Amino acid sequence: MGGSTPRLAAVTRRGFQDMITTMAARLVDKGLQPESAQEPAALAVTGMEGALVVSRALEDPEAFEALAARLTEAAEAAPALST
């Protein structure tokens, strides 16, 4: 993070790490093996953050809503996550 202060960078890093850790824990709660949960959690958080930025920039929630729908479909289709 180019010109940011070390404190801001640390807080930002911690915030994203916490979101990924929380998402991974939810995936484990839904049946995913702990060693397999980190990557999809990171991809989901990355996608959500990107879609949020695009939606705000375009002043249109479509990108975020579309991603949320695709993530929901993927979670429902995943055998390990089916209830």
Say what the pLDDT of residue 12 is. Answer: 94
Say what the pLDDT of residue 1 is. Answer: 47
Structure tokens at 73: 């479909």
CA angle 14, 78, 65 (to 5 degrees): 60
53 vs 35: CA distance, rounded Å: 29
37 vs 24: CA distance, rounded Å: 5
| Residue 82, pLDDT above cutoff 90 | no
Encode pLDDT of 10-62 as tens digits: 999 999 999 999 999 999 998 889 999 999 999 999 999 999 999 999 999 99
Say what the pLDDT of residue 75 is. Answer: 77
Say what the pLDDT of residue 2 is. Answer: 59
Per-residue burial over 70-82, b if 16 or more Cβ lie within 10 Å, else e, is ebeeebeeeeebe
